[in-house]
Amino acid sequence: MNLSRSSGILLHPSSLPGKFGIGSLGAQAVNFVDLLKKAGQKLWQVLPMGHTGYGDSPYQCFSIYAGNPILIDLDLLVEDGLLTRNQLLTDEKFDDQRVDYGRVINFKRDILNKAFNNFLENPENNTHEYNEFLNRNAHWLDIYAIFMSIKENFGGRPWWEWPHEFRFRDPETIQRFQKQSGREVDFFRFCQFIFYKQWLNLKQFANQNGISIIGDIPLYVAHDSADVWSNHQVFQFDENRNPKAVAGVPPDYFSATGQLWGNPLYDWDVMEKEGFGWWINRVKATLELYDIVRIDHFRGFEAYWAVPFGEKTAINGKWIKAPGQELFELIKNTLGDLPIIAEDLGIITPEVEKLRDEFEFPGMKIFQFAFHSDEKDQYLPHNYSQNFVVYTGTHDNDTLRGWYRSLDNHIKTKVLAYADSNENDFVRKMIKMAWGSVAKMALIPMQDLLELGSEGRMNTPGTPAGNWQWRFTENQITPEKIQWLSHLTKFYNR
């Protein structure tokens, strides 16, 4: 990936300010693009944009293709004539600093239903644009919409708890359900049409203003997803469609017992026999939504940690070889050069580095990993080479200030000495080091630009609740911060 020297901000749209309890794809997102431009930035990195399920994690979605309906901007629906201002009036009081997902989901579902009713009542809405979207995306959209409708019909239960004929996708049963529940199925199609329209318009605006969007592909997909339900043959399932083994990682920096993610594992042999079509379609669709793609848990393409189904922790897993070389060669031959960032954190072997470097994918460097060994530590900026993306931290880390407060005193001393800083200015000094490094791209979470403490943390790995909720408010962004970042960016030629 041949990108010029650049920098940007990591911020999920859910964290944007605005009405109705969550950030959205409307005016505040446009304002954020303007902010990036004023600050001299070229990159906006988001987390996965999918339709989230239990736990609200963007890394556990009901579909690898479907966007999250709760990110739809309601004011834009008024502009499109699909809602009236009166229909947006509500007595709900939303928190402007945390996302209360339960309340937001219920509120937006009700409003989107009103928009869909208005859509159905006006034949002129049945436009070429809408029908063309349905046709172009039918290969995933129909299955997703049916899956979500069945899920709602059974009280939100996961697909493996559905009656046998639904669990095993009996064709007559599914066809009959689709005919009986046509409106509900069409509602989910409609929401995707609106999401895609709003997101692609926002992306176009960003691109026109010199901002490239970095998206995110999780290596694995959620067990309770339309993708797994409809493609069981490419996953490691037994005859009852129970997983034989599940995904995770062994003990590491984040957890002494490893992380037991629980996602079903791919049957790579079947995928390879099918020409990796499932993956080619996934990457192609993702590159239509983003300019650059970060692949989460890239090391799983070289070898993956397989944990026997039913284990309580990830300790008793084992490494199994994956056909990453063959996969990326075929994807490249089919789609061309790939603008991919490899999330190469965790237990990285020479084989993983070889796979990354073979395709010239930039790897990642995280400042917060850098101060626990000696001066040869690979995460210290003086040891970088150019084909990397440097982050002060990611969505899985505490903020810089929160991280610093958690350190032992001797590590704190080391951090301040390395950054030539004190406890008041070390956050800015570390951002300055990232921008001044040779790494081709430099990114900071919005929380670090705002110099927040742990109250700004987005996710704590291994905790099932209370994550993904952080939002910022407009008054936290001062002209001084924008001017400072703009100066820094120009000074270091980013």
396 is catalytic: yes
How far is it, in rounded angstroms, from Cα 152 to Cα 51? 14
Residue tagged active-site, from 73, 227, 296, 451: 296
Instruction: List all residues 6 or more positions away from 176 whose beta carbon is below 8 Å from its beta carbon.
Output: none
How far is it, in rounded angstroms, from Cα 22 to Cα 93? 12
Residue 349 parent element (H or E): none
Q: Please measure the distance between the N-terminal and C-terminal CA atoms of the chain and give it in whole angstroms.
A: 17
Where residue 20 falls (left for φ over 0; alpha for ψ -120 to 50; beta otherwise) is left
Residue tagged active-site, from 56, 224, 227, 343: 343
Residue 244, exposed/middle/buried by CB under 10 A (0-12, 13-18, 19+)?
middle
Residue tagged active-site, from 73, 227, 344, 396: 396
How far is it, in rounded angstroms, from Cα 229 to Cα 170? 12
The strand pairing partners of 259, in sequence order, are 249
How far is it, in rounded angstroms, from Cα 307 to Cα 111? 42
Residue type, 450: L
Contact 331, 323 (CB under 8 A): no
Structure tokens at 423: 């406890």
Q: Strand, helix or coil at 354?
A: helix
How far is it, in rounded angstroms, from Cα 412 to Cα 396? 21
Instruction: List all residues 6 or more positions away from 129 whose beta carbon is below 8 Å from its beta carbon.
Output: 197
Sign of the torsion formed by the C-alpha atoms of 119, 121, 127 and 133: positive
How far is it, in rounded angstroms, from Cα 418 to Cα 25? 40
Which of 445, 342, 446 has its CA nearest to residue 393?
445
132 is catalytic: no
Sign of the torsion formed by the C-alpha atoms of 194, 468, 250 and 377: positive
34 is catalytic: no
What positions carry a catalytic annotation? Answer: 296, 343, 396
